[in-house]
C-alpha cells in the first residue's frame, strides 16, 4: 500500500499523521481541540476541526501519495446525524462529555442496565454515553427524533469523509451502557429506548466501507480511490497493535495521555469493581478487555498547579529522592471524579522540592495500584505521552516488580490505526525498550505509607469522617 493518513482526534489535541508502507511516521501536524461553551449546551467545535482536517489533508496530499485514511477518536462521544441536513449532518451539536447536565437530570439511573450486563460503571457527567443520549432525547425530543443515525465519534468523521453510515464495536463498548460485551450485542437500554434502528451496520475496524467522497477528493487533492477505513476508538487503536505483535501472550498496556488506561489482555472481567472506575473495553476483535483507569494527565497538571510547578520543568532524580525522603504525598482524587478513588478531595501533605516530582510519584503509585486491581498476568507496556518520562516508567518498573517496557512508538494510537489499514499483514516487531527499575531509595516504604493513608481515608469515609467515595 502507498502512504496512510491517520486523523487522531483526542479530547485535548487533534493530530494528522502520515505513515509509509513500513509504518514509519513521516509527517505529523496537530492542533488543540476546542469546546464551544454556548447554546444549547457545551459542545465540540466540529466545524472548526473539520476546516483544520481539510487543511491537513491538503498538506498531506501535496507531499505524499495517500492510499488509505483512518480515523481514531476519543470515546464517550456520539453524533446525531441526518445525512440530508447540511454539510455537518448534525440535528444537535456533539455534546461535550465533561458537561455536567446529563448527570443532573433524574431518571436515567433507573434505566441503566446492570454492570454485569454492560461492564460499564456509573460515571460522572456524560462519560456514560447512554446518559448523554437519554438526556438529549428528553430535552430535545423533536431534534432527537429527526436523527437517522447515531454515530460513534470516529464513524461520524468517517461519514463526513466517505458518506458511509457505519458502526464499529470499540467505541460502542467503551463505558457507554449501550453494549453487552459478553453477548456481543446491544444492551437492554438500547432495546428499551428503541434506539437500535438508529445504529448502523457494525463493521470490523480493519474494514473499508467506502472510498473518499468526490467532493473531498477535489477539495484536498487526495486521490479519488483513497480508501476510508471504518474508524476506531483511540485507546483500542493502540491496544490493537499490541494484540498483533504479542500473538496471544498476556500483557498489560498502560495507555497514557489525558487518561491513563490500563488494559489487560489475558485478564478476567470477574475482578472488575465498578466502584473503582474499573470496566471492560471491547477490542477490535469484539473481545472484552478488563480495564482500570484514571485521568492521569489532568491530575499531573493539577498537582503541578497546586504546587506552583511548571509541567514542562525538567524532572530530576534528586527531586524524586528528596520528595520520598521528606514523606511528601499527593493523595487522590485530583480529577474531579474519575479513577479508583473518585469522590475524594485530592490533597497534598507537606511541601515538595519539585511539584513535577510529586506528580510523577503520584502517577507511578496510581498506575501500580491499577495494575494490582486488575490482577492480570504478563509484562507491562507503557505508551503515549508519559512514555517520554523515563523516570516515571522506571518508578513503575520498581513498584510492579515485573518486566516493564517503554513503547518506541511516539504516536501509538495513530500507529495502531495505520496498522488496521493493512491488518492481515504480519506486523513488524515492536520497538520496545526494557525499563530498568528506579534506584530511588525507600520507594517501597513510601508506597506503604501512601497506601496506609489511602486506607485511612477509606475508613474515615465509611464512618462519615472524610470525603465521600
pLDDT tens string 336-351: 888 999 888 899 999 9
Mean pLDDT of 327-333: 96
Q: Distance between CA atoms of 322 and 7, rounded to whole angstroms?
A: 42
Quick one: pLDDT band at residue 244, thresholds 50, 70, 90?
confident
Residue of 108, 146, 114, 150 lying closest to 127 (CA atoms): 108
Q: Would you state the pLDDT for residue 394?
A: 97
| 334 within 8 A of 299, measured Cβ to Cβ | yes
Closest CA to 311 of 323, 296, 301: 301
> What is the mean pLDDT of the segment spanning 22-26?
92
Same domain, 198 and 68: yes
Are 48 and 34 in the same domain? yes
Taking 60 as the threshold, does the pLDDT of residue 463 lie above it?
no
Euclidean distance between CA atoms 338 and 98, whole angstroms:
11
Same domain, 149 and 280: no
DSSP E strands in 172-328: the ranges are 179-180, 185-186, 210-211, 227-228, 232-233, 251-256, 260-265, 278-282, 288-294
Give the chain's end-to-end CA distance (angstroms, integer).
51
pLDDT of 168 over the 50 cut: yes
Residue 221 and residue 245 in one domain? no
Q: Is the pLDDT of residue 293 over 50?
A: yes
In whole angstroms, give the CA distance from residue 168 to residue 441. 47
Pairwise CA distance, residues 40 & 280, whole Å: 32
Distance, in Å, from the CA atom of 179 to the CA atom of 103, rounded to the nearest integer, reads 20
Q: Are residues 259 and 206 in the same domain?
A: no
158 closest CA partner among 223, 235, 96, 79: 79
**Cα 255 to Cα 389: distance, rounded to the nearest angstrom:** 13
Q: Poorest-confidence range of 25-29, 56-60, 171-175, 243-247?
A: 243-247
Q: What is the pLDDT of residues 356-389, one digit of tens each?
A: 999 999 999 999 999 999 998 999 999 888 998 9
Do 360 and 291 share a structural domain? yes
Residues 266 and 146 in one domain: no
pLDDT of residue 465: 44
Among 230, 248, 283, identify where a domain stops: 230
What is the pLDDT, as a whole number, of residue 167? Answer: 97
Residue 202 has a pLDDT of 97
Q: How many helices (H) and strands (E) are present in the chain, helices listed first?
A: 16, 22
Over residues 397-411, the mean pLDDT reads 88
**What per-residue confidence (pLDDT) applies to 429?**
57
Same domain for 330 and 433 = yes
Asked whether the predicted pLDDT for residue 400 surpasses 70, the reply is yes
**Domain boundary at 190, 212, 230, which?**
230
Are 259 and 226 in a shared domain?
A: no
Same domain, 189 and 321: no
Residues 215, 244, single domain; the answer is no
> What is the reported pLDDT for 226?
96
Question: Any idea what DSSP says for residue 323?
Answer: H
Domain count, the chain: 2
> Taken in order 339, 341, 346, 349, is the CA torsion positive or negative?
negative
Among residues of the chain, what percentage have pLDDT more than 90? 80
Res 393 pLDDT > 50: yes
352-382 b/e (C-beta count within 10 Å ≥ 16 → b): bbbbbbbbbbbbbbbbbbbbebbebebbbbb
Higher-confidence residue: 313 or 88? 88
Cell readout for 395 is: 518508578
Mean pLDDT within 82-109: 94
Q: pLDDT at position 307, please? A: 95
Sheet containing 404-407: give its strands across.
Answer: 278-282, 288-294, 260-265, 251-256, 379-384, 404-407, 432-434
* pLDDT for residue 431 is more than 90: no
Q: Virtual CA dihedral for 326, 332, 336, 342, nearest 10 degrees?
A: 180
Query: Residue 94 maps to which CATH number?
Result: 3.30.420.40
State which residues form the domain around 420. Answer: 234-469
pLDDT band at 468 (very low <50, low <70, confident <90, very high): very low
What are the CB-based long-range contacts (under 8 Å, 24+) for 388-393? 389/315, 389/360, 390/435, 391/315, 391/317, 391/320, 391/360, 391/438, 392/360, 392/363, 392/364, 393/435
On whether both 320 and 428 belong to a single domain, the answer is yes
- Closest by CA to 365, choosing from 423, 440, 266, is 440
Of 376 and 187, the structure prediction assigns the larger pLDDT to 187
pLDDT at position 460 is: 58
Provide, rounded to the nearest whole percent, the portion of the chain with pLDDT above 70: 96
Per-residue buried b or exposed e for 271-294, using 16+ beta carbons within 10 Å of the residue's own CB: ebebebbbbbbbbbeebbbbbbbb
Amino acid at each position: 500500500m502507498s502512504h496512510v493518513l491517520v486523523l487522531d482526534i483526542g479530547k485535548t489535541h487533534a493530530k494528522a499523521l502520515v505513515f509509509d508502507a513500513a509504518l514509519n511516521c513521516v509527517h505529523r501536524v496537530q492542533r488543540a481541540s476546542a469546546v464551544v461553551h454556548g447554546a444549547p449546551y457545551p459542545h465540540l467545535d466540529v466545524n472548526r476541526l473539520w476546516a483544520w482536517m481539510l487543511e491537513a489533508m491538503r498538506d498531506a496530499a501535496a507531499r505524499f501519495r495517500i492510499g488509505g485514511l483512518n480515523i481514531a477518536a476519543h470515546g464517550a462521544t456520539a453524533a446525531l446525524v441526518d445525512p440530508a441536513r447540511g454539510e455537518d449532518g448534525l440535528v444537535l451539536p456533539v455534546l461535550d462529555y465533561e458537561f455536567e447536565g446529563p448527570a443532573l437530570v433524574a431518571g436515567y439511573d433507573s434505566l441503566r442496565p446492570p454492570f454485569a450486563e454492560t461492564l460499564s460503571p456509573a460515571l460522572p457527567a456524560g462519560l456514560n454515553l447512554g446518559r448523554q443520549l437519554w438526556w438529549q432525547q428528553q430535552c430535545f425530543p423533536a431534534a432527537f427524533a429527526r436523527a437517522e443515525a447515531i454515530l460513534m465519534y470516529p464513524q461520524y468523521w468517517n461519514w463526513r469523509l466517505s458518506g458511509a453510515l457505519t458502526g464499529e464495536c470499540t467505541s460502542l463498548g467503551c463505558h457507554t451502557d449501550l453494549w453487552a460485551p459478553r453477548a456481543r450485542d446491544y444492551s437492554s437500554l438500547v432495546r428499551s429506548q428503541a434506539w437500535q434502528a438508529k445504529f448502523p451496520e457494525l463493521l470490523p475496524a480493519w474494514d473499508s466501507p467506502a472510498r473518499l467522497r468526490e467532493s473531498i477528493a477535489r477539495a484536498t487533492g487526495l486521490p479519488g480511490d483513497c480508501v476510508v477505513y471504518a474508524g476506531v476508538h483511540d485507546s483500542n487503536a493502540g491496544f490493537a497493535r499490541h494484540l498483533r505483535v504479542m500473538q496471544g501472550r498476556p500483557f498489560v498496556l498502560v495507555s497514557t495521555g489525558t487518561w491513563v488506561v490500563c488494559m489487560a489482555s489475558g485478564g478476567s472481567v470477574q475482578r472488575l469493581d465498578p466502584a473503582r472506575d474499573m470496566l471492560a473495553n471491547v477490542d477490535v476483535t469484539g473481545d472484552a478487555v478488563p480495564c482500570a483507569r484514571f485521568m492521569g494527565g489532568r491530575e499531573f497538571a493539577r498537582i503541578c498547579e497546586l504546587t506552583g510547578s511548571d509541567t514542562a520543568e525538567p524532572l530530576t532524580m534528586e527531586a524524586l529522592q528528596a520528595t520520598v525522603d521528606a514523606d511528601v504525598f499527593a493523595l487522590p482524587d485530583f480529577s474531579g471524579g474519575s479513577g479508583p478513588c473518585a469522590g475524594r478531595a485530592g490533597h497534598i501533605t507537606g511541601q515538595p522540592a519539585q511539584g513535577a516530582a510529586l506528580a510523577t510519584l503520584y502517577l507511578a503509585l496510581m498506575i501500580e495500584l491499577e495494575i494490582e486491581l486488575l490482577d492480570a498476568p504478563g509484562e507491562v507496556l507503557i505508551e503515549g505521552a508519559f512514555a517520554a518520562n523515563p523516570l516515571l516508567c522506571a518508578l513503575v518498573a520498581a513498584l510492579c516488580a515485573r518486566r516493564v517496557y517503554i513503547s518506541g512508538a511516539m504516536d501509538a494510537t495513530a500507529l495502531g490505526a495505520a496498522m488496521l489499514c493493512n491488518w492481515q499483514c504480519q506486523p513488524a516487531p515492536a520497538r520496545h525498550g526494557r525499563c530498568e527499575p528506579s534506584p530511588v531509595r525507600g520507594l517501597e516504604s513510601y508506597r506503604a505509607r501512601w497506601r496506609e493513608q489511602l486506607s485511612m481515608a477509606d475508613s474515615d469515609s465509611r464512618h462519615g469522617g472524610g470525603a465521600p467515595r
